[in-house]
A and B are shown apart, each in its own frame.
Chain A
Amino acid sequence: MLRRNLRYALLSLAGGLAVVLGVQAYLGLSQDPQARPQIPGLLWPNPKPIGEFSLTDHRGEAFGLESLKGQWTFLFFGYTNCPDVCPVTLAVMNHVANQLSEEPAKQDNVQFAFVTVDPERDTQEQLAGFISYFNEDFVGVGGPDDKLVDLTRQLGIVFIRSKPEADGSYLVDHTASILLVNPSGELIALFRAPHDPVEMAQRFDRIRELVKS
């Protein structure tokens, strides 16, 4: 089990590295300062298309590439046994959602998803109870490791599970950034930690405006 986990962690890490290098390559292509908008974390004009993947949401419905299309998606990867970073980040995402809902036109077409990198402990039921505490509209997403890495590898998400302690508990290191996927199903921006929800909502507005024009 541990060996399998380690293998996925390494695979995921390798995928992450590939995306990081890819992003650097994209940025290198557009060095003309006038051509590149000064929005931190933005991959535009070279968003990264996401390929097919097959996960399940906290209601038991399929969650794949089609679930990302037609709307903007804020994506965060974590686990429910995470006491500090994950609750803080979900509270940030809830704050962003509330900011957007102050102008009803802006919250249209936006979803927030939390993908567990600890499917063994985060069953559908555990995910459902966890995610709805932060916001009833948020989506919890999970799936077995082989399905999970189909997505994490593409997005450069890293997760590394620690060796279990005597009582079976373990920690999971994971990417702290929140990802933004556009309605075409392409990774378009990264929001790095620590997150300021007000700034994030503003940055999201700028990104949407920019892409529209």
Chain B
Amino acid sequence: MTRNAVWKGQLTALLILTLAGTTATAVESGLVIGEPWVREGPPNARVLAGYMVLRNPTGKIQTVVGASSPAFNSVEMHRTEVEEGVARMREQDQLQIPADGQLALEPGGYHLMLMGAQQSLRAGDTVEIVLELGSGAKLSFPAPVRKGTAQEHAHHHH
């Protein structure tokens, strides 16, 4: 896929920004959401994980200070860390996206912890996710539910 196509794909996957009752574009918000998705879980799963790439095209650091979704009772921002062979999930007060950089939320790393689904979600469903930025702006976008694969994690190296 060309770079341009990727960019277009991201823009079409986008986003409505609500700021004090007005609507602005993603770029105006200072953050672009790429490839959002929610991992399908077993039918009786009480928690799911949401992933995406947060891109910051601006020259200033951007922060995400909260997340929510009408499809879930509550949403928290977490990071999985494996230290000394032990996996820990650590809640994050905020996510920082460096100037002209990006932060990937991906399996085995940063993720949204989606708790208490309003209804059982299957691959093919779409949920709305809302991110609250440090600026006070809110960024709302759809995230498709899909099955996870075993290989995603293998490519995750720091």
Contact = CB atoms under 8 A, between A and B. Distances in A.
A177 B148 contact: no
Interface stretch (B6-14, B29-37, B58-66, B150-158): B150-158
Nearest to A89: B153
A73 interface: no
Contacts of A94: 150
Nearest to A196: B154
B86 A173 contact: yes
A81 B86 contact: no
A129 B44 contact: yes
Given A80-B46, A130-B44, A95 B151 contact: yes
A88 B153 contact: yes
Main secondary structure on chain A at its contact with chain B?
Answer: mixed
Contacts of B49: 83-84, 87
A88 B114 contact: no
Contact of A173 (B87, B148, B152, B154): B87
Interface residues of B, number: 33
Contact of A87 (B41, B113, B114): B41
B127 interface: no
Interface stretch (A29-37, A44-52, A141-149, A187-195): A187-195
B47 A88 contact: no
Contacts of A199: 154
Contacts of A133: 41-43
Given A81-B46, A84-B107, A177 B150 contact: no
Nearest to B39: A87
Contacts of A88: 107-108, 148, 150, 152-153
Interface in B90-117: 107-108, 111, 113-115
A21 interface: no
Contact of A193 (B45, B46, B82, B148): B82
B74 to A, nearest CB: 8
Given A84-B78, A176-B87, A195 B154 contact: yes
A123 to B, nearest CB: 10
Interface residues of A, number: 35
Given A88-B153, A194-B153, A83 B87 contact: no
Given A95-B151, A176-B87, A84 B41 contact: no
B25 interface: no
Given A91-B149, A194-B156, A173 B45 contact: no
A60 B24 CA distance: 56
A198 to B, nearest CB: 8
Given A84-B107, A194-B153, A175 B86 contact: yes
A83 B114 contact: yes
B80 interface: yes
B150 A95 contact: yes
Interface string A29-68: 0000000000000000000000000000000000000000
Interface of A: 80-85, 87-88, 91-92, 94-95, 126, 129-130, 132-134, 158, 160, 169, 171, 173-177, 192-199
Given A158-B85, A169-B115, A194-B153, 16 more contacts: A81-B46, A83-B39, A83-B41, A83-B48, A83-B111, A83-B114, A84-B80, A84-B89, A94-B150, A95-B149, A95-B150, A129-B42, A130-B42, A193-B82, A193-B87, A194-B156
